[in-house]
A and B are shown apart, each in its own frame.
Chain A
Amino acid sequence: MAVAFDEMNGSGGELRQAYQELSRWLKETPPDTLEYRRQEAELLFRRIGITFAVYGEAEAQERLIPFDVIPRIMSGKEWTLLEKGLKQRVRALNMFLRDIYHGRDILRANIIPEDLIFQNPVFRPEMNGQDVPHDVYVHIAGIDIIRTDAENFIVLEDNARTPSGVSYMLENREIMMRLFPDLFARHRVAPVEKYPDELLSALRSVAPLSASAEPTVALMTPGVYNSAYYEHSFLADKLGIELVEGRDLVIKNDEVFMRTTEGLKRVDVIYRRVDDDFLDPLTFRPDSALGVPGLMSAYAAGNVTLANAVGTGIADDKAIYSYMPEVVKFYLGEEPILKNVQTWRCREPQDLAYVLDNLGDLVVKEVHGSGGYGMLIGPAATKATIEAFRDKLKREPEGFIAQPTLALSTCPTCTASGLAPRHVDLRPFVLTGSNHVTIVPGGLTRVALKEGSLVVNSSQGGGTKDTWILDE
């Protein structure tokens, strides 16, 4: 694999414009100051309790996501392009979902094979013909972006269900501003603190018609043992809304109420961080204790808005992903601004043949997997692992896609042996309300802390960085 494009030093070692001031500052700053600040940051994170849980680990039930103090910087110009591409993509996702659960023009136009929709476990027949306020399905999207050179932004993954990580975007900025006031003074960094307000107004804008003029919004969490619980409580606090669990809600006459010390209070919009499967034991998994019996019936009656809508998984499915460029063209009649990673669909025989012949060079992913689990990174895998994957692929080809091993761009990062390049991606958060799409300038930069590693997921040793968009 060739040397990756570096966010600071480009492809050939030339210092990029956006990093000039940072580079100067790094030269002036003694390395132990950086190390000292790094420790201080970690202490702050622990005290605030910004932790996440790793499933299946008895030890270390709550862990910190490592935070790297070197910011990832983008110029205003780069951001403008990215922002345009993200808005385009999310608009298309929403139109696609509306179409899939209504007229299905895209299937009749033979752009996506029918069985990929109807045999997909994340397709929700309950949503057929159901209208959602303002046709918004994905109110909050987290689009994972990578780059391999200075020109192109590539979408690695769309997250249209319950994307997480925005609390890190906000807290990373708070902590950076506390620790490096001097560095901020030397840059003009676009603020991110408006995100909670933008989110709240997007959520209120999609309240059902039967809601009062001041709709009540609540955030629904699976509870304290969920890996993203910190984020749920953080957001509820910033939005000034109740953080509810399923057991706090009760359905009466197809309306949703929360149990309060003063009796029942109606809820109009639920920003739910609970997966479809667990929302309502009467409709989905009957063994779920996290949900609310009857919630789907209140939803069908149009008395409550769920954000994101039920059934959005069909839009961010890895098998659908490969069709996204066509999806954008089909609904918007525009060329997609953001590229897709080239993807081989193992369900198609010629693609499968190619993948089997080139396993050692490819990344193979489970169609329904997430969090970086269950994937094969060919160049880094042992022969035995590759052969095991070959068997899995032959047995169930439709369960997999394959992509080339991309050299994700790198960004200077603090390591035990000083600053060194580490691979990064970026998850901006795109909000869609009744009549507008907004994106707070920035997002969550995830960094693979292990040398050479391409896996940025926090569950697998990834860390985060503050992301700066320069206001020029």
Chain B
Amino acid sequence: MLSRTAENLYWLARYVERAEYLARTIDATLRVTALPAAYIGKTNEWDSALLTAGVSASFYEVYQEANEQNVVEYLSFAPGNPSSIRNCIENARLNSRSVRTALTSEMWDTINSAWIELQEVWGKGTASREELAKFLRFVQETSLRFDGSAYRTMLRNDAYWFSRLGLHLERADNTARILDVKYHVLLPQEEHVGGPLDYYQWNSILRSVSANTAYHWVYRETLKPWLIADLLILNDTLPRSLASCYGNLVRNLDQIGVAYGRQGASQRHARGVRNRLEHSHMDDIFQHGVHEFIQEFIADNGRLGEIITKQYLI
């Protein structure tokens, strides 16, 4: 297939995944900030929403203060924010248009309908919390529909695998970022361990990766920081965990390698990251520092993106 087609499929999946993640982040932040101050402490949750989205610096070039109105506007609609939800959907549509021949009609319909709704219903943003809730649901449902239609209708060939690579790479990045911003509330040695403050912070982390129910099914325990970290980093039964993302990345890259009859740098690199995750234990990770571990992971994940691009997409 054309390299440019593969590149568009890869980025299309990334944009859709990113839009959903942003919607989840806003949703989780709204919940936690609605709590009385005694439950969440003095940290500015909107600031940490910006950090997990990786747009803090560009935000402060435009705004003075990170409050609900400004951050929601910036993350959802701001034309000046290249990874706002609006721009993600716009870019997803542009990528879809470029690779229409490689998409199934169901996938095209999902993106095109979302783009139409974005303009017709959400063209002026949201005027109330009710509207915002509706908007966030719309974004999450778009992502579910897109993912589902890709899964159910695409031929299992390189087009499908490149699209999945984009999805899992973006997903791993998002989960890692949330961990990176919140790692300090997961540290057992922090002073107010177990207080209500941490409890709601933890819950908010799980919610932003849609894992709050999964946690209880997996551990059958009250929320504990090291278990949360274990779930999000090492548990490969959780679709948004780093381990699960890398299991999928390795599988998809292998499928491409088999189809093309050739393995390369991206297969090797992905396998390396996966092996490290497989052989890690939470104890060691805490011992060596969660922050360092996550930082290293984010860098490795970014490098995989570069290697894939070099090997296949240009």
Contact = CB atoms under 8 A, between A and B. Distances in A.
Given A47-B112, A47-B113, A49-B108, A260 B97 contact: no
B3 A49 contact: no
Interface centre among A47, A234, A236, A245 (most CB of B within 10 A): A47
A463 B313 CA distance: 40
B97 A233 contact: yes
A390 to B, nearest CB: 45
B112 A233 contact: no
Contacts of B260: 261-262
Contact of A259 (B4, B116, B158, B162): B4
B97 A248 contact: no
Contacts of B5: 242
A101 B1 CA distance: 37
Interface in B8-30: none
A198 to B, nearest CB: 19
Contacts of A223: 98
Contacts of A104: none
B4 A247 contact: yes
Interface string B19-55: 0000000000000000000000000000000000000
Contact of A260 (B2, B113, B116): B2
A224 B112 contact: no
Nearest to B109: A47
A262 B162 CA distance: 13
A20 to B, nearest CB: 37
B312 interface: yes
Nearest to A240: B101
A307 B2 CA distance: 21
A247 B260 CA distance: 23
A245 B4 contact: yes
Nearest to A258: B2
Nearest to B314: A259
A6 B58 CA distance: 63
Interface in B224-277: 256, 260
Contact of B100 (A237, A258, A259): A237
B132 interface: no
A261 B101 contact: no
A61 to B, nearest CB: 11
Contacts of A262: 260
Contacts of A242: 1-2, 5, 101
B98 A261 contact: no
Interface string B274-314: 00000000000000000000000000000000000000111
Dominant secondary structure of chain A at its interface with chain B: mixed
Contacts of B112: 47, 49
Given A248-B4, A259-B2, A260-B1, A243 B101 contact: yes
Contacts of A260: 1-3
Nearest to A242: B2
A279 interface: no
Interface in B191-225: none
B181 interface: no
Given A261-B158, A261-B260, A237 B3 contact: no
Interface centre among A49, A224, A233, A242 (most CB of B within 10 A): A49
Contacts of B144: none
A79 B2 CA distance: 41
Given A47-B109, A47-B113, A49-B108, A261 B6 contact: yes
B187 interface: no
Interface string A315-346: 00000000000000000000000000000000
Nearest to B3: A259
Interface centre among A229, A243, A244, A245 (most CB of B within 10 A): A243
Interface string B94-122: 10011011000000110011001000000
Contact of A49 (B97, B101, B158): B97
A175 to B, nearest CB: 14
Given A261-B158, A261-B260, A262-B260, A233 B100 contact: yes
A354 B4 CA distance: 56
A383 to B, nearest CB: 42
B116 A261 contact: no
B308 to A, nearest CB: 10
A261 B97 contact: no
Interface string A107-135: 00000000000000000000000000000
Contacts of B100: 49, 233-234, 237
Contacts of B97: 49, 224, 229, 233
B114 to A, nearest CB: 12
B4 A237 contact: no
A245 to B, nearest CB: 7
Nearest to B261: A262
A445 B75 CA distance: 46
Contacts of B6: 261
Nearest to A265: B2
B2 A224 contact: no
A47 B93 CA distance: 13
A223 B98 CA distance: 8
A233 B101 contact: yes
A-B interface, 7 closest residue pairs, ranked by CB to CB distance from nearest = A233-B100, A237-B101, A259-B3, A261-B312, A261-B6, A224-B97, A236-B101
9 contacts: A223-B98, A233-B100, A245-B4, A258-B2, A259-B3, A261-B6, A261-B256, A261-B260, A261-B313
Interface of B: 1-6, 94, 97-98, 100-101, 108-109, 112-113, 116, 158, 162, 256, 260, 312-314
Given A47-B116, A229-B97, A261-B1, 4 more contacts: A223-B98, A233-B97, A242-B5, A261-B256
